[in-house]
Amino acid sequence: SDEPPVVFHLLPWIGSTVTYGIDPYAFFFKCRAKYGDVFTFVLLGKKTTVCLGTKGNDFILNAKLKDVNAEEIYHPLTTPVFGKDVVYDCPNSKLMEQKKFVKFGLTTSAFRSYVTLIAEETRQFFSRDAPSKRFASTSGTVNLPPTLAELTIYTASRSLQGKEVRERFDSGFADLYHDLDGGFVPINFKLGWMPLPHNRRRDRAQKKMAQTYMDIMTERRKEGNLEREEDMIWNLMNCEYKNGTPVPDKEVAHMMIALLMAGQHSSSATITWILLRLATRPEIQDELLEEQRQVLGTKADGSIADMTYEDLARLPLHNSVVKETLRLHTPIHSVMRVVKNPLPVEGTPYTIPTSHVLLASPGVTSRVAEHFPDPMLWEPHRWDETPAEEHAHLAPSHVKEGVVEEKEDYGYGLISKGAASPYLPFGAGRHRCIGEQFAYLQLQTILATVVRDLRFQNVEGVEGVVGTDYSSLFSRPLSPAVVRWERREK
């Protein structure tokens, strides 16, 4: 049977790499107009078949384990960064167990403590007397991407990663992180193994970082009776594989690095887009503040009351701001799989051969008018009518105190409604994100905390938001992206 049409190109190995790399969405929409939802393009010498639409998402994300494979394509890039024996450097069944361990640590009581820690860290960060002196006066301008990358890593490390990791960020850890991150670039899908300068720095940083986590574990064991922190390190140190082996320290260390890397870019890009978008709509910032005042009430001094984890579910506009931002600024624009068996595409004459790679881009379905009227408009109020139960991330009923219910056969207890939804910023199927609830918690808490203290607007003469930088693995705002800020209470 037939193969999908191949996107026209002039240079054999380069193919459409450059057009795709500059703006994948522009490329996908153009190809879709010409070839339909299923087409093949050449990406660094590899025939890559894109399947768009809700059917395409479902076809790729819910394909059977025997038919598609993620680790073969991701591991050259991820293994040197995360370390061995975790995520894509092990059989899929082991990854499924590791995801379940992580899920197990994301309990309601852990989440309760995280909200407090993240709010505290955020308040300090934006306060007049923050060590950075960035927000020392009553108004000014700020370049959001690097600023919020810093805040994101502080908040994630203070909560999920544990206090020792947070403390180390005030010293050398930030440089290590930076060197490690240098390995997280698309070209490393091909050149990850090469002893190039950036890869050497990556390898050195990976070793030191893994050792840091191992030292933390040794230290914690020595202290023995130290009050158990509700963080991921403790949780993983106490997990056991089905065959009865505890998770070796080295694997705990590598999983912690994987979580740090997986969460950092997506969350930091998202909070940056949120504040950039809000700067174009100052009235929504006021609405957010009003929502908090109504729902949380005020303290004796007139300030808004502190927020708890349970409160997050009672702040629908905050939720919609995050949700709408993830719709238009989906951090992961391409999800890839290697084809292991010839795959017929239902409803088409095509069969995808095993020499191809498959590419899903759920960000496309979240940008079409059929599903989202006036799709390129950022409008959090478009979610106003969404029933509460559809906000799965707000109802972590499947994560009771230390209990992970097994809802379906991936074994890590996710509510996965299949891939029929046009809105899948966290993916679907067995590789679906496990960080969704944590990401929402982190983003909503930062958002709620920052709008109390500061008000943002575009600098004079600027309209709308900056363009997107697609050159890294994650879509993020181009830097610099400067906005004006003003302290609410002067």
Nearer of residues 199 and 444 to ligand HEM, judged by Cβ: 444
* Closer CB to ligand HEM, 17 or 334, in the complex: 334
| Closest C-alpha to 289, from 447, 127, 451 | 451
CB of residue 127 vs ligand HEM: minimum separation in angstroms? 25
Q: Which of 118, 149, 434, 450 binds ligand HEM (CB under 6 A)?
A: 434
> Do 310 and 466 contact (CB within 8 A), yes or no?
no
Contact between 233 and ligand HEM per CB under 6 A: no
- For ligand HEM, give the closer residue by CB, 88 or 372: 88
Least Cβ distance, residue 274 to ligand HEM (angstroms): 11
- Compute the least distance from the CB of residue 69 to ligand HEM, in Å: 11
In the complex, least distance from residue 401 CB atom to ligand HEM, rounded to whole angstroms? 19
CB of 136 to ligand HEM, least distance (A): 30
In angstroms, how far is the first alpha carbon of the chain from the final one?
A: 70
Q: Is 93 helix (H, G, I), strand (E, B) or coil?
A: helix
Residue 47 or 99: the one with the smaller Cβ distance to ligand HEM is 99
Structure tokens at 231: 């963080």
Contact indicator for 31, 50 with CB cutoff of 8 Å: yes
Radius of gyration of the chain (CA): 22
User: Residue 399 interacts with ligand HEM (CB under 6 A)?
Assistant: no
The beta-strand segments (E) located in 354-395 are: 357-360
Instruction: Indicate the residue whose CB is closest to ligand HEM.
Output: 435
Binder of ligand HEM out of 426, 456, 470, 485 (CB under 6 A): 426
Please, which residues have CB within 8 angstroms of residue 69's CB and are 6 or more apart in sequence? Answer: 92, 337, 338, 340
Tokens coding 393: 């991330």
Q: What b-and-e string marks burial along 28-55, b requiring 16 or more CB atoms within 10 Å of the CB? A: beebbeebebbbbbbbeebbbbbbbbbb
Pick the closer one to ligand HEM by CB: 260 or 352: 260
**Is 172:188 a contact under the CB 8 Å cutoff?**
no
Query: Based on CB atoms, which residue is closest to ligand HEM, 271 or 352?
Result: 271
Q: What's the CA dihedral at 398, 316, 326, 146 to 10 degrees? A: -110
**Min dist. Cβ of residue 337 to ligand HEM (A):** 8
- Of 438, 456, 470, 485, the one binding ligand HEM by CB under 6 A: 438
Q: Name the residue among 94, 143, 438, 61 with its Cα closest to residue 266.
A: 438
Which residues fall within 8 angstroms of residue 108, CB to CB, at 6 or more apart? Answer: 309, 396, 399, 400, 401
Given a contact cutoff of 8 angstroms between Cβ atoms, the answer to whether 434 and 102 are in contact is: yes
User: Phi/psi of residue 335, each to 5°?
Assistant: -115, 130
Does 422 contact ligand HEM by CB under 6 A?
no
The pairing of beta strand 351-352 with beta strand 139-143: unpaired
Q: Does 331 bind ligand HEM (CB under 6 A)?
A: yes
Q: Which of 439, 447, 466, 481 binds ligand HEM (CB under 6 A)?
A: 439
DSSP state at residue 159: I
Q: Does 435 bind ligand HEM (CB under 6 A)?
A: yes
- Binding status of residue 425 toward ligand HEM by CB under 6 A: yes
Q: Interacting stretch for ligand HEM, rule CB under 6 A, among 132-140, 235-243, 428-436, 446-454?
A: 428-436
Q: How far is the CB of 483 from ligand HEM (least distance, A)?
A: 21
Is residue 135 within 8 Å of residue 128, measured between CB atoms?
yes
- d(CA 53, CA 277) in angstroms, rounded, equals 26
Please list every residue from 54 through 73 that binds ligand HEM, using CB under 6 A: 70
- Residue 92 Cβ, how far from ligand HEM at the closest point, in Å? 8
200 to 219, contacts with ligand HEM by CB under 6 A?
none
Which of 30-38, 330-338, 456-464, 480-488 is the region at the interface with ligand HEM (rule: CB under 6 A)?
330-338
Q: What is the DSSP letter of 15?
A: B
Task: Report the C-alpha gap between 315 and 313 in whole angstroms.
Answer: 6
SS3 content of the chain, % helix, strand, coil (to 5): 50, 10, 40
Least distance in Å: CB of 153 to ligand HEM?
A: 12
| Sequence-distant (≥ 6) Cβ neighbours of residue 258 within 8 angstroms | 78, 82, 86, 87
The mark string for 258-297 relative to ligand HEM (x by CB under 6 A, - otherwise) is -x--xx--xx--x---------------------------
Closer residue to ligand HEM in complex, CB, 166/431: 431
Half-sphere exposure of 411 (CA within 13 A, CB side): 12
Over the window 160 to 199, marking each residue x when it contacts ligand HEM by CB under 6 A and - when it does not, the resulting string is ----------------------------------------
Residue list 91-150, contact with ligand HEM (CB under 6 A): 95, 99
The answer to whether the bond into 375 is cis (omega within 30° of 0) is: no
Q: With CB under 6 A as the rule, give the number of residues binding ligand HEM.
A: 22
Which span (279-287, 329-337, 390-398, 481-489) binds ligand HEM, by CB under 6 A? Answer: 329-337
Which residue among 100, 431, 452, 476 contacts ligand HEM (CB under 6 A)?
Answer: 431
Q: Which SS3 state, helix, strand or coil, does residue 313 take?
A: coil
CB of 426 to ligand HEM, least distance (A): 5
Q: Please report, as ranges, the residues that interact with ligand HEM according to CB under 6 A.
A: 70, 95, 99, 259, 262-263, 266-267, 270, 331-332, 335, 425-427, 431-435, 438-439
